Chains A and B, each alone.
Chain A
C-alpha cells in the first residue's frame, strides 16, 4: 500500500480531517465495531439479569444460594460418596456430579473399545462379520437414544428374576437380579498398602523395560522381548509380597438378607440400563468415525508397508491407525461430549444423576429454579470444555508435524 506515489493524498488535500482518515482505517473501524457490539451485549445482559431479579422480587420469589447450606432431607438410592438425608443441598450437588461422571467415564471407555472393534469389523474382508457390523451400526444409530434406554430398562433389567430367584454367576461371586448387579468386593486389610506399592513399582519397571527395548530396537533394529521380566515384576513380585505380608485381603460376598442381597459391591438396574444404552448408542457412531478414519489413509500406505515386509497386524498398528487417528480424534471429541450430555437422560429411569438429583428433586424441594438451572448448565459446560480441552492437547500431538 505504501507506494511512493499516493494519489489519494493529493486529491483530497490537507483539509481532509484526521477523523475521516480514521473512519476509513479498517483497523480503527474494526475496533469501533467491536466496542459497539460489546457494549450492546453487556447492556442486553444487564437488562435481562436486572429484569429477572425485578420480576422475581415482584412475584415474591426468594433468590440466592443460601439454600445450599440447608438440609436436603431426602434419600438418594445410589451414591458413590457418603450421603445422609441430613446432609446439605451442596452435598446433593456433589453426589449428582459424581454419579454423572461415573456413568459417563465408564460409558466413554466401553463405547471407545466397542466402537473401535465395530469400526474395524465393518472393514473386514469376511462378508458375514462386515454385514453384522454394518447392521448393528445402522440399527443402533437410527433409533432414538431415549427409546433405547427404555428398551434396556423395561425390556431387560426389570424383567430379571426377583432377589429370591436371582442368577448367581461364577459360584455366587456375581449376582444379577431385578434390583441390580452385585459383585464380591475385596476388602483390603491393614498391610495391603505394601502390595499396592509393589504393584506400582512393577508398573514403573515394566515401563522402563519397554523404553529400553524401544531404544535398542531403534539403535539395532532388533526388538528384544521383555515379557518374562514384565511378568516377574508385575505378577510374581507383588504376589510374593502379598503372601509374605500375610495375605491382607478379605472378601465380602453378596448374600440374600431380608428383601435383597446385601454386602459386596452393587449397582442398580437403571445404572446398567443407562450404561449399556449409552455405550451401544455411542459405539455405533464411533464405529463410523473409526471406519472413516481408516479409509482416509491412502491405500498406498498399506501397500508400501506390506511390501517392506511388515505383517498385516503391524501394518495396522504402526502405519494405518496412527495416521487414521488424525481423522478420528476431532469427531471422537464430540462423541465424548455427547455421552456426558446424554447421560442426563438418566432421569427417565431413576438413575440419580445430576439432572435427576439437582434439576428435579432439589429444584422441587428448594424451589430455586434459576439458581439450580444455572449451576447445572455451568457444570455441563465446564465438563464439556475440559474434555474437549484435554483431547485437543492430545490431538495436537498426533496431528501431522508440518515443518
Chain B
C-alpha cells in the first residue's frame, strides 16, 4: 500500500508540475509579444506617415487608414461577405468531398495490404501533379460552372487526407490489434475502437493540411475563372487598380486561413485528449 501511495503522490506531483509550466504562459503577457506588436505597428505608422506626406505613391501603397475605411465600406455594403461566403462555401464543399473520400480510401488502404500495393503507384504518380494544372481538363468534363471549381479543390484535398490516413493506420502499434483480436473483437469493433482512434491524430494533421490546400486552391481557381469569391475580388481589384480593395481582400484571405487553422487546432485538442501535451 505504501507503494501505491507513493506512485499516486509521484504522479500527482507530475501533474502539478505540468500545470505550473502551463499557467504563466496563459495568464501573463509574455515580453516577446511586445516585440511582435512593435514589429507589426511600427511599419504601419511609418507607412501611414509616408503615404500621407506623398513620399510613396498611394496608388501602390494606400495609407493603412484608407485601407481600413475601405474595409468598413466593403463590410457595410455586404460586398465582402458575399465574396467571403462564396469562397468559404467552395472550401468547405471541396474539403468535405475530397476529405471524406481520402479518409475512406485511406482507411481501406491502411488496413489492406493488397489494396495498398495496387493503388500506391497510382497515388505516387498523381500526387505530385500541381492540382491547379488540371483545372482546364476538369472544366472540359464538368463545364465552367461551380462544379469544376469544387472538383479541383476536392481533388487537391483528397491527397493529403489519403496519405495521412494511410500513415495513421499503419503506425498503429500491432500490439493493439493483437489485444483486440485476443478478446475476439468484431471487425466493426476493430474499426471503431482501434483503427479510427489510433489513426485520428494523423488524420487530423491531414485534415489541417487539406484545409490549407483547399483554401489555396479556392483562391487560385477564383483568380483564374470566377466572378465571385475572394480570389475573384483580388483579381478584380488588380484589374481596376483599386489597390486598397486588393489589400483588404488579401488581409481577409490571410485572416481566413488563420481562423480555419485555429479552429481545426481547437477541434484536434478536443478530439485527441490523450495527446494533449504533444503540440499538434
A and B: real partners? no
